[in-house]
Chains A and B, each alone.
Chain A
Amino acid sequence: MKALIRKELRENLKFAVPGFLIFSLLLYNSYSAAESQPLVSPRFLGPVELVCNLFGLILGWFQVYPEKNRDLWAFLIHRPLTQTQIFLAKAIAGLMVYCIAMGLPMLALVVVASRPGQFASPFEWAMVWPVGGIFPMGAVWYFAGLLMGLRQARWYASRGLILIAALCIYMLAGIQPAGLPGFWQEPVMIIAGIVLFAAATWGAFQSCGTDEGQPAWGRRAVVLSLTVGLTLLGLCSQILFEVLLHGSLRSDFTYFQITKDGVICKVVEKADGSSEITDLSGSPLPDPNTRREASLADFDRLVAPGYPLNVDFGDQSQVRALLRPDTRFYSSCKTIDRIHWYWTRAGNLAGYDTSTRLLADTIKPDESVAADDHFLRAQMSSPTDPENSKQKSSVILATARHVWEVNLEGRKSLILFTAPDGDVIGGARSVGDLGFVVVTRNLIEMLDMDGKLIWKTTYKSSNPDAIWVRVSRLAGAQKYAVWLGPYQAANRNNEVEDRSYSQVLFVSGESGLISETTLPANKRYAAGLSFWLSALFVPPAPLFYFLLGWKGASLILLLTKISFGMAIVCALAGWWLGRRYQFSKGTQIKWAIFHLLAGLPGFIAFLSVQEWPARETCPHCKQLRVVNRAKCEHCGESFAPAQKDGTEIFEGLTEDCPIQA
């Protein structure tokens, strides 16, 4: 086996060298252009991911496809090794080449990035995680490439589907569905992908790339791979149906806004590019200058400036779930006197000298007041906020009990607000230069920068863990609208109605809460024909999972019913085919269960990998019988020997050996 590994290494190092050079160049380019930590920068991770996956795929494909020439393959296979050993030798060598080409440059970058003075931003070893996820994902693509090169199938069918299956696994590793913590999602999917494709490749090795003669586990892995690919293809079919039926992919987008005059408006941006702006009674909003219906551009000028705030009363996990890799670790605050300040997830502010790129200082909450306390995530002014451009040397940060004004020049923190006993702060942020808003479990308060109360109001949270809050500054002295909404975790349970914001409180500095308005629910998704058609392609199994996790999910329930109905049809068709081609009862039952779980994608995968032998008329009973059975399934007769033409010459070649019949 060592000789085979050496041979594979020798053959495939030609890919490692250009791969290594291209990847090193890419990393060097990202390194020299990066102002903050590249290891968690989406600008860096995107190209790295693309190169790793592409290299893995190309390497896998080239490692096996050129050798698939019939006689060269026989030269490889016919040697005193098991097919498993040959597969292992190829896989070990391939992964070694992958590690050399992609792993070494990546390792070098991690070592460089971990050294102080390289980037003027925080570093912690956990930042290696995103890269640590990208690197093994390349192995998933590598095995997919091997399998794709090895399979004796049509490129546009079950061979190409492997590519789509790999894409599906790649996407699943990145998406975080309900209930699965992001940390586990990626390694679980990567390991599942590697195991799936490696098992399918191992199976294909046993049968020289054909489906017939594969070991059971190999065949199961191929079926599953194809089902995964077909599922993604089925889901994409909705896009196709959408385009075919509506000529466009866009759908209406509805949201609420408030004007500076305090009029809540419903804005519908339609698929055809037009828009509809009405007040809550349904009357079109007139432009105050022209008195005509306001266009979207006109309306933008009327909208009150808003200050959104993500409020999390727990461990901040719900806020974290929304963030990109880089902002999970730190948020950029401000640059003051060549020191760039970051909020770090340790709960302090870290300042980095932009010229030396070294840590200059750290600011923590005053330990004499709040020992072991830490700042909640910094929530800076939104980019649309005109006050954002003003250079201020202080930032507003909250801990669980206090709101602090942190002076970045003097590097001191000053308490501006303390929550009442028994209450806890979920978030705080500045509202331009007018002051700051703080949200506790029971109260929403706005204070000026001296800590003097501007207004406060009680509220009833629609979600105990986390809420959306947005403060809109209205025209007139100290008049504000406070938008409240359940957080994503609560909102996502309703797939039909969108309630990002469900309530608006009108407050003023003089009288506190003036009035409140409950917002109607927006229709999030209108299920049309394309939705119902694509539902036929979705396997019921993942829908069962979603159905268990989601409450009151009528659309999902309907989707599951359609999908399961299709699955029953597939199971019946599979059963009929099984009878026709003489499957054993056990095999028929296993396939039927699979079809009930995997629906139409599973059925198509079944058709792709199953042996469909020719059928011939039995000369004895005159019924059609499959040619891969020794005896007729109807009458039990063996196959007739070839018809003789009188020119046969047969002779027993050894003693006692019967002369040919």
Chain B
Amino acid sequence: MSAKDELVIHTRGLTRYFGATPGVYELNLDVPRGGVFAFLGRNGSGKSTTIRMLLGLLEPTRGEAEILGCNIRRLTPEIRARIGYLTEEHQVYGWMSVRQCGEFQSQFYPRWNDKIFRGVIDHFSLKPDARAKNLSRGERAGLCLALTLAPDPELLILDDPTLGLDPVARRSLVESMIALTRRADRTIFFSTHQIDDLERVADYVAVLDKSVMRACCRLESFRENIRQVRVQFAGKPPELPTIPGLLQVMRNGTSLRLLCVRYNDDTEHLLRTLKPLEIETSPVNLSDCLVSYLGARGEKSFILSEMEAHS
């Protein structure tokens, strides 16, 4: 099996413009088979646009992409049958009952597994005769998840599945996803800006920032690559020079707390030129890593900038 066969999603230069503004720019993404791939980014960063392009729901402006080895411009019904897609608004036909939804979907999928459907329905405590339009948002998310999982898809694409859900419903959804990942050769590709549950679920992470991909790696690598640096000065900290990989800087009295990508000797040498009393590095928890990575990029966080402006 070649490396390309190992990929369930493979894009090269995938780009989508909305007018003159790029929604997704030159995306080169490889999603390996098996495991959970988290696709992160702030609102409007291009996550949903990417997913809609991958599923043939939106025409790319340029670039190429394959999903399960099939060109996204020519997705066949057979390929679609192998992909489960859960949308962020959890839309189903409101007039159908939970049971009718299952019966309706089951007629399209040859590998429909009613046990999975019933299992997820029970997990979310859904009444089979309840109309979909009368379900709460969390319940509807459960129904949609059941409809997405029951065809036993090889690749599950979830577009911000926990959006708008309460913590209990979100936990239920995440647990169901974990249950699926225990099955061999199943891949989950999900976009989110909820980072709380990421550590429990994701194996890989890709980060989109303003339509450009900034990171694509294993979750551990992501965490390892970001370091917190505390720089202690004798008095008021001086202006920082341009530091490569600097994500965030916060001032606390006479010390600065920096979050840097790939902190190395060069970075330390640069900081030493400021004549600090002490430089101390420490790992960062994933949540802080992601917040800093998704936040405003630059030498200082926007919070600090504002505080300094007022002082």
- Tell whether A649 pairs with B222 under 8 Å between CB atoms, given A80-B80, A641-B26: yes
Q: Interface readout for A1-21 with B: 1 if CB under 8 Å, 0 if not?
A: 011000100110000000000
Decide: B93 and A213 in contact? CB cutoff 8 A: no
Sort chain A's interface into a size bin. 35 or more
Are A78 and B55 in touch, CB under 8 angstroms? yes
In angstroms, Cα B194 to Cα A488, docked, is 77
Q: Which of A3, A80, A614, A654 has the largest number of chain B CB atoms within 10 A?
A: A80
On chain A, the residues within 8 Å of B218 by CB distance are 651, 653
Residue A207 at the B interface, CB < 8 A? yes
- Cα-based distance from A10 to B225 in the complex (angstroms): 55
Stretch binding the partner chain, chosen from A48-56, A67-75, A414-422: A67-75
Q: A642-B26, A654-B7 are in contact. Are A78 and B85 (CB under 8 A)?
A: yes
Contacts of A661 in B (CB 8 A): 28
User: Is B91 interfacial (CB-CB < 8 Å)?
Assistant: yes
Contact among A71, A210, A630, A651 with B88 in the assembled complex (CB-CB below 8 Å): A71
- Restricting to B80-118, which residues have a CB under 8 Å from any CB of A? 80-81, 83, 85, 87-93, 95, 104-105, 107-110
Q: How far is the CA of A661 from the CA of B77 in the complex (A)?
A: 34
Beta-carbon nearest neighbor of A82 in chain B: B77
Contact in complex: A642, B25 (CB < 8 Å):
yes
- Cβ of B3 within 8 Å of any chain A Cβ, yes or no, is yes
Choice from A641, A648, A654 contacting B3 with Cβ under 8 Å:
A654
- Chain B: residues with Cβ within 8 Å of the partner, total of 67
Asked if A77 CB lies within 8 Å of chain B CBs, one says yes
Known pairs A81-B77, A207-B59, A210-B59; A650 contacts B107 (CB<8 A): no
Whether B65 sits at the interface, judged by CB under 8 Å, is no
Whether A74 contacts B108 by the Cβ 8 Å rule is no
Interface of A is mostly: loop
A-B contacts counted at CB < 8 A amount to 148
Q: Contacts of A213 on B, CB cut-off 8 Å?
A: 59, 73
Q: Which of B73, B88, B107, B214 contacts A3 (CB 8 A)?
A: B107
Residues of A within 8 A of B120 (CB): none
Beta-carbon contact of A654 and B216 below 8 Å: no
A208 B108 Cβ-Cβ under 8 A: no
Q: How far is the CA of A639 from the CA of B19 in the complex (A)?
A: 17
Tell me whether A660 is interfacial, beta carbon within 8 Å. yes
- Chain B neighbourhood of A75, CB < 8 A: 87, 91-92
- A614-B20 contact given A11-B95, A213-B73, CB 8 Å threshold: yes
Interface residues of A in 626-661 (CB under 8 A from B): 627-630, 638-639, 641-642, 645-651, 653-657, 660-661
Residue pair A656, B212 in contact (C-beta under 8 Å)? no
Which B residues touch A656, using CB under 8 A? 2-3
Q: Which residues of B contact A648 (CB under 8 A)?
A: 214-215, 261
Q: Say which residue of B13, B78, B110 sits within 8 Å of A630 (CB atoms).
A: B13
Cα(A77)–Cα(B221), bound, Å: 37
Q: Are B73 and A646 in contact (CB under 8 A)?
A: no
A79 lies within 8 A of chain B by Cβ:
yes
Do residues A627 and B17 form an inter-chain contact, with CB atoms below 8 A? Answer: yes
Structural contact, B13 and A71, CB atoms closer than 8 A: no
- Which one, B15, B73, B109, B213, contacts A627 given CB within 8 A? B15
Further pairs besides A614-B17, A653-B32: 14, Cβ < 8 Å: A71-B91, A79-B105, A80-B80, A81-B77, A207-B59, A208-B58, A210-B59, A212-B59, A638-B13, A653-B30, A653-B31, A653-B216, A657-B7, A660-B28
- The 27 listed contacts between A and B (C-beta, < 8 Å) are A69-B89, A72-B93, A74-B57, A74-B91, A79-B105, A79-B109, A80-B108, A81-B77, A81-B80, A82-B76, A85-B77, A213-B73, A614-B17, A627-B15, A628-B62, A629-B62, A639-B13, A639-B62, A642-B26, A647-B215, A647-B293, A649-B225, A650-B215, A650-B217, A651-B218, A654-B30, A655-B6
Chain B residues within 8 Å of A, Cβ to Cβ? 2-3, 6-7, 13, 15, 17, 19-20, 22, 25-26, 28, 30-32, 52, 55-59, 61-63, 73, 76-78, 80-81, 83, 85, 87-93, 95, 104-105, 107-110, 204, 212-218, 221-222, 225-226, 244-247, 261-262, 293, 297
Interface, chain A (partner B; CB < 8 A):
2-3, 7, 10-11, 69-75, 77-82, 85, 207-208, 210, 212-213, 613-614, 627-630, 638-639, 641-642, 645-651, 653-657, 660-661
